[in-house]
Amino acid sequence: MHELGIASSILEAVQKESLRHVGVRISKVGVKIGELAGVDVDALQFGFECIVKETEWEGLVLEVESIPRVQRCPKCGHEFRMVDYDPQCPQCGEFGTKCISGEELDIAYMEVDE
């Protein structure tokens, strides 16, 4: 279950950021996770809740934004959401499209209470 490792890394990043801003309390951390990142969002949420429980970080909210897989056609420049693993451009029929979104696994923001 690598989601627990990811949850732990998110918490470490929050802890490091809190050390940079003495006197503020981080209340929420937002992450962007692409559908190709191979992360089970429910398992990540559960793991995060487990590692913050009964710690000074209990109450810290993890908010997840799911990012869809988007392809770009090199021939016509059309961007489209890939469906059923079909990379073909719906505009011009080109098969050699490139993935431009959906592999993200990033911390997007942290909300603080001052």
Residue 95 sits in a domain whose CATH number is 3.30.2320.80
pLDDT of residue 83: 86
Cα within 13 Å of Cα(112), Cβ side: 12
CB 60 within 8 Å of CB 17:
no
In three-state form (DSSP H/G/I as H, E/B as E, the rest C), the secondary structure along the chain is CHHHHHHHHHHHHHHHHHHHCCCCEEEEEEEEEECCCCCCHHHHHHHHHHHHCCCCCCCCEEEEEEECCEEECCCCCCEEECECCECCCCCCCCCCCEEEECCCEEEEEEEEEC
Whether residue 63 is predicted with pLDDT greater than 70 in this model: the reply is yes
Count structural domains, the chain. 1
Whether residue 95 is predicted with pLDDT greater than 90 in this model: the reply is yes
Q: What is the pLDDT of residues 1-52, one digit of tens each?
A: 599 999 999 999 999 999 998 888 999 999 999 999 999 999 999 999 999 9
Question: Mean pLDDT for the chain?
Answer: 95
Mean pLDDT of 84-91: 94
pLDDT of residue 22: 86
pLDDT of residue 1: 59
The whole domain housing 95 covers 2-17+24-113
pTM for this predicted structure: 0.86
pLDDT of residue 80: 97
